[in-house]
Chains A and B, each alone.
Chain A
Amino acid sequence: MDSLQQQNALSLLSGDEAVALAAFDSGVKLGTGYPGTPSTEILETFDKLGGKAQWAPNEKVALEVGIGVAFAGARALVTMKHVGLNVAADPLFTVAKIRLDGALIVVSADDPGMASSQNEQDNRRYAVAAGVPMLEPSDSQEAYEFTLRAIEISERWQVPVLLRMTTRVCHSKTIVRRGAVTIPAPRPAHFEHDFPSRVMIPAYARPAHLRLSKTLSEIAAWNEAEGPNQLVTGSSSLGIITSGVALQYVREAAPDASVLKLGMTYPLPLERMRAFAASVERCIVIEEGDPYLVEGARTAGIAVEAQPEIFRFGELNIPRVRRILKGDTSPEPKRAPGKAPALCPGCPHRSAYAILKELGCIVAGDIGCYSLGVLPPFEAMDTLVCMGAAIGVGLGLRHSLPPEDAKRVVSVIGDSTFVHSGITGLVEMIYNPPASGHVLVILDNGTTAMTGMQEHPGTGRTLDHAKTGKVVFEDLSRSLGVRNVYVNDPTQDPEEFKKLIQTCLDTPEISVVIARRNCLLAARSIREYERCNEQQTN
């Protein structure tokens, strides 16, 4: 950085990097999460800055660890992509009602338009459903400031706070002024017994629910008076209510409009919205994703115009906002199709898929690079639902299909996904085996490849690649009671892999086949980490 930038403490950061910087500047004790585009870089950056960051096996565990940190009076940052919050929803709904001592910030990185996801759910709905206050940054500066604000709010009202980001906020780089907001230093970690506030048996959970309702009213009043909402005074003929990155498109598509940009979108500052709507001739709500703000406004009896339904799908941008303002719902120009992503040349998944296809398998698939096995030339993956679903879905198919088809069903899951939510599926496979048996293939390429080569419990290395405890899939499978457990490298020995799969398909027992070869892109780094770790041990 040159001296000019240092003087002004300015830097060009992605939203993810800005969240990490704020977490670091505010003394967050622990950052934890599970990798997922577009959230992954938050913890990686937090680690590089010197913060304590770790990957959890999945988002539910990450959130539970974060809750523990906040019970100890410290500050926790828990990160995940939007679908990760489905996995962490169980603790989220209850911790919302529990009195925290420190801060608990849950980052949900939504992916409207599905750049790299299986759905485009709008996680603002979770804030309402669970009763968790929510902030929505619209650029990296706000990602920085709102992370700090979220910690303040969390500590002041002793509640978790949802920081809801979207792909364009996470991955766009914009200028950040560090130190624009400062908050008090964290208090030392400590523990006090507080049974009624933290033990959610029904007798204590009932008053806790009432307490949350009271807290949310207080926060709503605060949001009305001094929440991080922004008013741009422009023409009185057009007013736009918006939040998140949509603000940026609105400012360019309608530079003369009055704009009420909401930073805290749960609980909503309904009176501000009401006053704003009354101050302009035409008031329209422009938001990326679900009609969340517009429904909130209308439920409160605020007369606002909604954007046409078609703009609920995909990301917004300047041309789409222009269309919304004109009420133009004519077909939008399609972008020329580019080159589709594909399994890399030399990818170890290639030989596995070629063989599964050759054997005529019905493949219940899962989420990772190997999802690309659905595309030509392989077209060898038949289902994809959510993380870990390969096993359950494969078992369901086996239970229901006629015997000659049932015996062709194979579940395919990656190493990181297996640890994330495949282990319980394997337990189900042992507990409720189909009559025809079943075959689970773990495509173990030694890394969380799709999100950019993150470590996981199966690699035996921590987020920053240091040696730690390792979950060995073959040992785990055998210890659970699977008798047929095989390890093979289908790239090196495709004939053996083919024979193995055929043998497993032919037996009515359950089998686990681990297809093991490091991801081609990660192999060199993995060798280097192993070498460093060995040197340190010696």
Chain B
Amino acid sequence: MSSKPTNVVVAGLGGQGVLKASDILADVAFSAGLDVKKSEVHGMSQRGGSISSDVRFGERVFSPMVPQGEADFLLVIAADQVEVNRAALGQGGILIEPAQIDESSLPNKKSINVALLGVLSRHLQFPVEAWTAALERNLPEKLHEANLQSFSIGRAIGQAK
């Protein structure tokens, strides 16, 4: 294959917004005209257990799942799920974790998933407008302000690094 897809694994616990975060990321890549696949398992895992969602994008994507040990980015929303998922990362892959964010700086704790997307956004080529648009498409209007703010906080951290 001429160009390898970008592999992102989003992980955390059921109810933390793992799927919402991967939906937003997939939407950004899709809107950029890329081939996108996104995969996760619904069902049992939603009862507070570990959950992860794979997003792959590029010129052409076949498998909807990121091969173990080949993730370019691992975004973990729950601190205690970092070790559980670390094996997903490939060599030189980048870990994005809650320790990078001062939770008290966020407008609300629940938007940590979006703040971490902000950190991730610095590593990807998509313009900030595309992220804003995807956030607005995927979240109810009353949550827009808080989440856009959380996203900016995360994006600023990504920049500082």
**A residues near B, CB below 8 A?**
2, 4-5, 12, 37-38, 115-116, 139, 167-168, 171-175, 245, 247-249, 251-252, 255, 317-319, 333, 335-344, 369, 372, 450-452
**Segment at the A interface, from B64-72, B104-112, B120-128, B142-150:** B64-72
A116-B43, A341-B45 provided; 6 other pairs, C-beta below 8 A? A115-B44, A139-B64, A175-B36, A252-B63, A336-B83, A339-B81
Number of A-B residue pairs with CB-CB distance less than 8 Å in the complex they form: 121
Report B113-141 residues with CB < 8 Å from chain A CB.
133
B84 within 8 A of A: yes
Stretch at the interface among B46-54, B90-98, B153-161: B46-54
Residue of B44, B47, B63 near A317 (CB, 8 A) is B63
- Of A38, A317, A333, A340, the residue contacting B42 (CB under 8 A) is A38
Q: Is the CB of A174 within 8 A of B68?
A: no
The distance in angstroms between the C-alpha atoms of A173 and B133, with both chains bound, is 19
Rounded to whole angstroms, the CA-CA distance of A508 and B45 in the bound complex is 40
B49 touches A342 (CB 8 A): yes
- Distance in angstroms from A291 CB to nearest chain B CB is 22
A171 to B19, CA, bound (A): 12
Q: Does B89 contact A (CB under 8 A)?
A: no
Please determine whether B33 and A4 come into contact, CB atoms closer than 8 angstroms: yes
Please tell me which one of the listed residues A12, A247, A341 contacts residue B38 in the complex, with CB atoms under 8 A apart: A12
Query: In the assembly, what is the distance between CA of A88 and CA of B142, in Å?
Result: 44
A-B contact pairs, 29 of them (CB 8 A): A4-B31, A4-B33, A5-B30, A12-B27, A115-B41, A115-B43, A116-B42, A139-B64, A168-B39, A172-B37, A173-B37, A174-B64, A175-B30, A175-B36, A251-B63, A252-B63, A255-B1, A318-B63, A333-B68, A333-B87, A338-B49, A338-B51, A338-B84, A339-B48, A340-B49, A343-B47, A344-B47, A450-B44, A452-B46
Contact among A12, A172, A342, A452 with B39 in the assembled complex (CB-CB below 8 Å): A172
Closest 5 CB pairs of A and B: A338-B50, A116-B43, A341-B49, A172-B64, A341-B47
How far is the CB of B108 from the nearest CB of chain A, in Å?
19
Contacts of B83 in A (CB 8 A): 336
> Chain A's nearest CB lies how many Å from the CB of B75?
16
Query: Which residues does chain A contribute within 8 Å of B43, judged by CB atoms?
Result: 37-38, 115-116, 450-451
Instruction: Report the Cα distance A335→B43, complex, angstroms.
Output: 19
User: Chain A binding site: helix, strand, loop or mixed by DSSP?
Assistant: loop
Query: Which among B27, B61, B86 has the highest number of chain A CB atoms within 10 Å?
Result: B61
Nearest CB of chain A from residue B81's CB, rounded to whole Å:
7
Please measure, in the bound complex, the distance between the C-alpha atom of A139 and the C-alpha atom of B61, giving whole angstroms: 11
Interface of B is mostly: mixed
The proximity string for B residues 11-51 relative to A, scoring 1 for CB distances below 8 Å and 0 otherwise, is: 00110000000000011001101011111111111111111
Interface residues of B (CB under 8 A from A): 1, 13-14, 26-27, 30-31, 33, 35-51, 61-65, 67-68, 80-81, 83-87, 133
* Complex interface: chain B residues within 8 A of A245 (CB): 64
Pair B62/A248 contact, Cβ less than 8 Å: yes
Q: Nearest-CB distance from A212 to chain B (Å)? A: 36
* A423 shortest CB reach to chain B, Å: 25
B13 closest partner in A (C-beta): A339
Instruction: Give complex CA distance A429, B41 in Å.
Output: 37
* Cα(A249)–Cα(B64), bound, Å: 9
When the two chains form their complex, are residues A12 and B26 in contact, meaning their CB atoms are under 8 A apart? yes
When C-beta atoms are compared, the residue in chain B nearest to A170 turns out to be B42
CA distance A255 to B81 in the complex (A): 33
> When chains A and B are docked, how far (Å) is the Cα of A224 from the Cα of B87?
44
Q: Which residue of A lies closest to B41 (CB)?
A: A115
Q: Which residue on B lies nearest to A317, using beta carbons?
A: B65
Nearest-CB distance from B18 to chain A (Å)? 12
Interfacial chain B residues near A341, Cβ < 8 Å: 14, 44-49
Within the complex, which residue of A173, A252, A333, A450 is in contact with B62, where a contact is CB–CB below 8 Å?
A252
Q: Which of A116, A174, A175, A337 has the most CB of B within 10 A?
A: A174
- Please indicate the chain A residues that have their CB under 8 angstroms from the CB of B30 in the complex: 5, 12, 175
Q: How far is the CB of A465 from chain B (nearest CB, A)?
A: 19
Q: Is the CB of A172 within 8 A of B38?
A: yes
Q: How far is the CA of A318 from the CA of B65 in the complex (A)?
A: 8
What is the chain A residue whose CB lies nearest that of B1?
Answer: A255
Question: Shortest beta-carbon distance, A347 to chain B, in Å?
Answer: 9
- Cα–Cα distance between A171 and B64 once the two chains are bound (Å): 10
